[in-house]
Amino acid sequence: MPYQPNPTRYQEMTYRRCGRSGLKLPALSLGLWHNFGGVDVLENGRAILRRAFDRGITHFDLANNYGPPPGSAETNFGRILREDFAAHRDELIISSKAGYTMWDGPYGDWGSKKYLVSSLDQSLKRMGLEYVDIFYHHRPDPNTPLAETMAALDLLVRQGKALYVGLSNYRPAEAAEAFRILRELGTPCLIHQPKYSMFERWVEGGLLDLLGEEGVGCIPFSPLAQGLLTNKYLNGIPEDSRVAKGVGFLKESNLTPERLSQVRHLNELAITRNQSLAQMALSWLLKDERVTSVLIGASKPEQLDDSLRCLENLAFSAEELAGIEEVLRG
């Protein structure tokens, strides 16, 4: 049976304005970093995307190298988009990125105009799109002039291949300079995507203030610290976890007794808020009005539903915030 979206989907979701732009994003956006590659089950990815849209998530975040293998997440997304969402393209915000290794040779990585233009052309073909809504430079390139990288982003907007541009993983000083260049080119930066969670707070050292001053949105990734800020590791390392299998960025060495103690104490605080630890971690990010949206992942539709319940309780008392800070200080 053809997919029919939930007719009340827009009544359930909170949408936030992205900086000073005219664009609004859902409070939670779906990232396709994991679980949508060629090694994954396509129908599970389809079920997650359907559930996301049914719940009012309109923003799907990809990158050229998402998979594995690299590129396969965009290919799979393109197929599902064509088969299930073709009639709803104008209701969607689709983003992609380039900045990490994608193909062999000197032109398949970093931040040259050659790489960025070629990469987006490839991404559009994989997804079957004429344009993406947001195109990011995925990480700073220390060996390419920043002016060249920003000129490439500006060019792609002028070519009609992207509506907006964003940055990811840029530190405050380089972000400020990139914002200045883009503004002078006439293509202001829409949004910045940093790694940000209760356990990863470098953005509070100037970046969030900069984004607020510049009117640039913020969309944190890895909000659950690769699964640490969930109930998964409350009682040790499960055999079926990514840590136990040695897959992903979270390593067993990260799970120190001190860190696990923090996780357990944070979980106790979450229970007093009638939330899971994951829900509290997402709410904690969304409490800041400079955060436009938070990128979540999901391995199944039910996991997505669980994350969305964070929106039922976004307010924190001064006592709750103080309690969280006390735990995080160790």
Q: For 69-87, what is each residue's pLDDT tens digit?
A: 999 999 999 999 999 999 9
Tell me what pLDDT residue 253 has: 73
pLDDT of residue 236: 72
Has residue 103 got a pLDDT over 80? Answer: yes
Q: Where in the chain are the domains?
A: 9-224+285-313
Give the torsion through C-alpha atoms of 88, 19, 30, 172, to 10 deg. Answer: 140
* Architecture in CATH of 9-224+285-313: Alpha-Beta Barrel (3.20)
The answer on pLDDT for 252 being more than 80 is: no
Res. 251: pLDDT tops 80: no
- Please report the pLDDT score of residue 300 as a whole number: 97
Half-sphere exposure of 211 (CA within 13 A, CB side): 28
